[in-house]
C-alpha cells in the first residue's frame, strides 16, 4: 500500500500558480495515484490566500473530493509537545506547520513541502521525489 501524502500549502501554491513546475507535475501524479490527503490547517491557509471568485471556484473544485483528515485532540497535544521540545532547542516553527506535521505523524503519512523547517520536526516523514517527473 502506498503511503498517504499530506501536501503542505507551499506545494499547493506552486500547483495553482506554476502549472508546469516540477513540484506541480509531481503533485498531479500523486493526485492521479490517489495518495493525497487534505488537512484542515492546509485548507484554511489555502483559502485565506484566495483573491477573487474565479480563483475560489478553481481551488474549491480541486480540493473538494480529496480525503480529509480530521484534527482530534491528540494532534493538538502532539503539536504542542513538538513546539515545546523544539523551543527548548532554540527552534521556533509556526504552530500551523506543527499542526500539519502532528497530523501527518499521527496518520503515518508523509509531508510534501517546500518549507525546509519541516526537516527539523522530530518523527516526521518527508515526501521526496525525483527531479525528473
Whole-model pTM?
0.92
Cα separations in angstroms, 39 against 89, 90, 103, 132: 27, 27, 8, 27
Residue 132 lies in a domain: no
Tens digit of each residue's pLDDT (9 = 90 or more) over 30-87: 999 999 999 999 999 999 999 999 999 999 999 999 999 999 999 999 999 999 999 9
Which residues, at least 6 apart from 124, have a Cβ–Cβ distance to it below 8 Å?
Answer: 101, 104, 105, 111, 118
Q: Is residue 131 part of a domain?
A: no
Which residue range is the domain that position 70 belongs to?
Answer: 5-126
Residue 21 lies in a domain: yes
Domain-located, residue 57: yes
Q: What is the CATH number of the domain that holds 120?
A: 3.40.50.1010
Q: CA nearest 110: which of 13, 59, 39?
A: 39
Strand, helix or coil for residue 5: strand
Round to whole Å and give the CA distance between 133 and 61.
25
Structural domain count, the chain? 1
- pLDDT at residue number 1: 61
Could you read off the pLDDT of 86-127 as tens digits, one per residue? 999 999 999 999 999 999 999 999 999 999 999 999 999 999
Instruction: Give a yes or no: residue 80 inside a domain.
Output: yes
Amino acid at each position: 500500500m502506498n503511503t498517504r501524502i499530506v501536501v503542505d500549502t507551499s506545494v499547493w501554491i506552486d500547483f495553482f500558480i506554476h502549472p508546469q513546475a516540477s513540484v506541480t507535475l509531481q503533485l498531479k501524479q500523486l493526485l492521479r495515484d490517489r495518495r493525497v490527503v487534505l488537512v484542515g490547517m492546509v485548507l484554511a491557509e489555502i483559502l485565506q490566500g484566495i483573491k477573487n471568485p474565479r480563483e475560489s471556484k478553481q481551488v474549491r473544485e480541486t480540493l473538494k473530493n480529496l480525503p480529509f483528515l480530521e484534527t482530534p485532540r491528540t494532534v493538538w497535544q502532539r503539536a504542542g509537545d513538538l513546539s515545546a521540545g523544539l523551543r527548548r532547542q532554540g527552534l521556533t516553527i509556526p504552530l500551523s506547520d506543527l499542526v500539519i506535521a502532528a497530523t501527518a505523524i499521527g496518520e503515518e503519512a508523509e509531508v510534501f513541502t517546500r518549507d525546509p523547517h519541516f526537516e527539523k520536526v522530530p518523527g516526521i516523514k518527508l515526501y521526496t521525489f525525483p527531479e525528473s517527473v
